[in-house]
Structure 1
Amino acid sequence: MASIRSPEPHSAADPFELQRLAEELAEREATSPPVATAFDEVSKAERDLPIYVPLSHENPYLRAEAFNVEEFLLSRAYTSLPDLRLELRDYLATLKEELVRLINDDYEAFISLSTDLRGEGARLERMKAPLKDLKYQVLTPREQGTRKILQDIQDNTEQKLKERSKIREQKAFLHLLLKISESITRLESLLLITVPSDGDRISSEVNALRDIHRSDDRGPDDRTRANRAKHLARVASEYTQLLYHVFRAREYGSAFIDESQWRVDRIKSTLSSDLDHLFASTLVALAAGREQGRETKASELERSKWVADVTECLRTYDMLGLWRDAEDVLRKEVVRDFVKKTIHPNALSTPHSPIVPHTPFAPSSAASGARPHTPLPTATHPPRTPYTPFTAFASKQNPFALSLHPSAGGAEAAPPIHMLDDRDDSLAALYNAVLRFVDRDLKRVMEIAEGVCAKSGARGRREAGEQGAGFEVMANVVWAEVGRAIMDELGSVVFAAGKPDEFRKHHETTQAFTRALEFLAPSLHSIEVMRAHPTYTAFERRWQLPVYFQLRWKEIVTKVEESLATTRLERLSSKAIAPFVTAQAAIVWDAINTCWSAEVYIPELSHRFWKLTLQLISRYKAWLDNSLPAFEPPSKVAAAVAAEKMGLTPGSPANLPRAATPNLPTEAASPESTAVDEISLQQFSTAIIDIKAMDAEVVKLWREELSVMMPESIDDGSDENIGPEAEPSYFVSLIFRPVRTFFGVGSADGPGAPLRDELLQSYAEEIFEIVTQRYIHFLSAMKKTEESLRRLKKNKKTSYSLFGSSSSRDDDGRADEEKIRVQMVLDVEAFGKDAESLGVSVQQSETFKILREMAGSTLTDAAEYDDM
């Protein structure tokens, strides 16, 4: 049998004696000293020749569960296929030899296996007999049985485990209480809070230390203030952890937590007080530094330190959730004093001291009264000055001011302040002072607060709907103080609608101030919160816009009615009223222009001015109808109109006179009739000229101005602009309710539920027909009544006036009737759908078709009547 060992030196498997050469090379390298060559950098594995590994049982490819031929051949890549075949044959012979040896070694035991197992069956039966008795003892429910013993052991084990678990929980709870106690003690020591048991001496010493710390906050030592800010931030972090631990401990109902709650509250109040004191002192120092207006590097360094302290304080406020406390400090320390000094009853009559702007603007610019901005339009323009609406807040761009130039020194230009034109306008000057103050002392604080909320996640909670999360300085501080001061101190002047010109100017200036103030807001969300603030809502309600409109309406309409009192068209030769030829048309057009001029128009009253414009045009039409003489067409024109009504086209053969009987010339017209015709021709031509001019001017006004100024939808909130109801009347659903209740339709059960399949449809059809006939009867009676009323109104002619006439009341009545008709159509459709749900064939009912046609025909008749 061939061996699986390495071949001999002169065998055919190793003709070049590679094995011997490899062994000699290894011995030479072991005995010779190492020589540092470049060849040493190559690893030994890269220098050695492939080692021949004979096949054996330890080969991983042969021991694998699934033999892979490709992997096995790749592992023997250095062996040729004839040599590999010889190796495999040698390995097969080795396996056979080992198998035969195993069989020979264990043959005797294999043969005696059957004889050794004789009698084992009876032995197994004897071993099985005690198991029955053991099973009986285990399953027998005796008081002292094995099962009860085991159950007792199990119960005792579970009880011990529960006790150990409870002990672990109590241990963890004790650790939690110890942690809470240590945290309270540590916080009291950090905040220098006295313990009642320490005695009065210690209390006085600690209070003295607290006074020293507070005095350091207002002192010139900025390092102490900065250290104090960081110290309070660390205390706040420790306090939040304490609150979390207290919350967890309250789940167990510990008396220690209840007794220690006053200490926790004292820590909170002390921390809040210290934080308020530090924040207030920092704000005062920052404001004082800005008022000095120094431009040195030292002042800039101090200012950056103060800003860092403000940021740290705001972070601490945000960590503790004391956003309103920070706003209250800012309101008391910075805003309230300025508002009291600036906004008072005599504020519009006293000059305002200039406010030094912040860096990089030169203080001399504000002090000298220079205004680096584009002024707003003033009220010194001709009456036909078109209204220029203010640009709404859509981007961080100034719609009515130029960019401010950087000051000397190469500093970059800061965002511009959106200033108002305060020339000859004391209210605008007051608003400019407020804008400069907000830009100088509050804008940076608002931006820092917004950034703190963004980093801490308060903005996300605020957007998710959590009320009161985050800082709202613009709404709760700036506008709350400024808006309330304007209403309380200057309300009788700013919101007085008795003088329309001043009222419109104040409204325009105030709206510009509001938009400019919104440009200083740190985010769009802060603007939305400001507009939703109760003070902002109350401020907007103080504008008595309906009163202002009534005054303007009286001014405009009075002139128009005075000019239209003369019911005669007189052409004037003056060119001042061009392109019109009558004074009445020029006055009506001037009234329309006045509604939309910059001196009268207010955007919030656009719906009212639009209605007044339509009323003026309608009034002019009524005046023309009453002023023009009755038109009597000639006989030929009358004949053509009659032929057209009969269905004959003018100029048809049936309408032409016979050639054999030509018409004889009529008698010449008298001088009186000729004069009357000349007067009528002149009046009609005058009316046509004014009508065409009015049409052209109104279309031009709409195309160039009104289409831009008017909102997408006009709704003044009054009953006259409310459309028809979008839902049917409530009583429609009550018609078939008794039927549904009796047969149990849509409910669990009813008295006639068993009869539903048999009688529901027939009963519903009978009720449907009866109700439909009653509807038809009522509609017929209503239509007859309306037709009689229309005849009376048509025969009764009344004059038209904008001051409330019968014609205007008739228009209101028509609108009400139209609403009733539309509502009736909705009710009929809803009634049909309700009947269909009960199995009634509504579409095949002739009675319902008549009812639907009657409901629709009333609308058509109303439209025809309105066109007459």
Structure 2
Amino acid sequence: MVDLRSPSLPSRSAVELFGDPSGDSEPLWFKKSSFLRADFDPESYIADLRTFVPLESLGAELRSHLATLKSELVELINRDYTDFVSLSTRLVDVDSSVARMRAPLAEFRDKVAAFRIAVENSLSSLRSGLRQRAEASAAREMLERLLDTFHVVSKVEKLIKELPITVSIGPNADLVHVEKGILSNENSLHPAENGTNFRVTQSILLERIASEMNRIKFSISNAKDLPFIVNLEKRIQSATELLDHSLGNCFKDGLEHHDEDAIYNCLRAYAAIDNTAAAEEIFRIVIVTPLIQKIIPYNQSQIIDGSSSDELEEYYQKIRQSIKSDCKFILDISSIENSGLHVFDFLANSILKEVLLAIQKGKPGAFSPGKPTEFLKNYKSSLGFLAYLEGYCSSKSAVSKFRLQAVYVDFMRQWNIGVYFSLRFQEIAGALDSTLMAASVTPVDNLYSNQGKSQILTLKQSVMLLESLRLCWSDDVLVISCSDKFLRLSLQLLSRYSTWLSAGLLTRNAAAEDFIYVIHDVGFLVAELRGNFLTHVLQLLESCSTEVLDLVRRSILQAVTSLNDTLPIVKNSMVEGIAERSFEDLKQLKGITATYRMTDKLPVRHSPYVSGILRPLKVFLDGDSVVYLNKELLNWLLYSTADRITGRYYEMAADVVNLARKTESSLLRLRQGAQRRVGASSDALDNNISNTEKICMQLFLDIQDLLEFAKFNDSVLLQGCIALFFNIISPAFSACYFALNYPCI
């Protein structure tokens, strides 16, 4: 019967699934094979397991494994113990056995040693033979090279003898040739065609000779000291001279007649013998020198003193035209792809070299930085000319090669930019410094005819600063390669102007009008430098990296911020200047005490000094320079000045009243003591008005008149003055006023 209670699938015990902790089975994480690995490391093994296995469990498992290994070792020893013990019984007559085995082994060793000696002798002989064979091969190779050199030298001499003989047909006629001593007969070619054929034939033959000469140089490169080569040196030298002479004449002839085929072959010949300098020099002398001397004469017989200036732009224009019409053909030939003529640099070593020589001899003043304006024009014109020459380069690598030429470096070294900047520095910085050294600020001419125009500068010092800054970055002054120096100069100019404002100007007791000009100009300069000036500078340096542009922007803005930080100092100095003038009249306030001391006189009108307290402020507001202040700044200046004046007024009035009270209290005590001694009544004294009350009455009248005087200006000033003046009126002043029935304000 089928047991319905049992499942249809075979069941698995819990021990199979989870392991039996009480049994001998090892856990899944414990691998015995790990101990047998060659790279087993106990520390790393424990470090890997301790992340998920407690150290106690690991230690217990290792101890269990050790016990198992020990028991297995004991079992192995016990299993083979009988064989180990019986081994000693079987070892009988071992010495005789060893003696019998030793004899054949010794014989075999002797045979091996003898064979080794024979092999080494054979190997030595073989190596000696191979060495002799290599030496013979090298000698044979050298001999073949020497023979080849001899044959090539003979071949070159033969080819040189086969060069056509040139015959001139008249002074201006083309060249014809005589080959192998036979003159052209009447059936020969037309003279022009004949001359062309001659040049081409000669150039082809010269190219072939040049290639053979190149073979000679290669052949003798490693055999210079051999007697055979020494004996050939005279012949090789003679052949070289003949080749150079013939190749030079052929190349000159090809240049004079613009024979491109002959020129191409001659250039290949020069490239083959690695003598590019000779071709470049011949082209300079034959073609470039006459052209440049027509434009810039530099021979003493050609120079006419005072005939022209040292400006180079006009000469460069003519040189460009000459290059385009008379030199472009060879530049095109030397730039033909896969021609091998890229080794020539006619731009630098022929054209630029001759131009530099002509300027040095014919226009030496062009390089002089003593005239900065002309020097900069010539420098920029020269850079433009170099850029024009670079336009003939076929690739970026060609441009780089052109700029690395010694002539190019020498040409750029002629322009002493360091001296030029020093002169410009003295010119620009000196002009600003001399302006700032003036005894006082100097308004610009026709200043008041421009009233109401906020987009102007009012002081010559400020105008000179802005002109100097703009001059640093103008096209007539700036050299881009020295832009870092001109940036530093700009920052120095701003720093010098800021120092003049914060230190020099404030120590001269300048008038309030001067401070108005300074405040206006600083505001205008800050706006201009942060706007148009900064934009112009960044546009000039747009080719620089983003990091450089950001550094330039932050440096200029930081300098402008430093300039703007001088405004609070200038404003406070102007307020102090106006207030100090008012303080001269305030000093008369102390005379009130003497006026009412020991007298029955009562105050009935304000003091004379009151009208002079705000007069400096009124004079300031009536001045023509106020138009250069905006309304917000003007209100601030009025309020600050009024606050400064009334603050001092309050301090002086309080001191006068307090001193009067102390004096009166002392006198009152003395009088009361005297009256008590004589028994007199104090009623009469009590009914009198004290000096302190009289002083307070006078001060109140003065304050009233001061408030009336303040109404001369707009409501903003009036409100500020009234608020401040009412703070001056102490309770004692107003109490005296009401007690005497004075009219209320």
TM-score normalised to structure 1 length: 0.41
Larger Rg: 2
Q: Which has the higher helix share?
A: 2
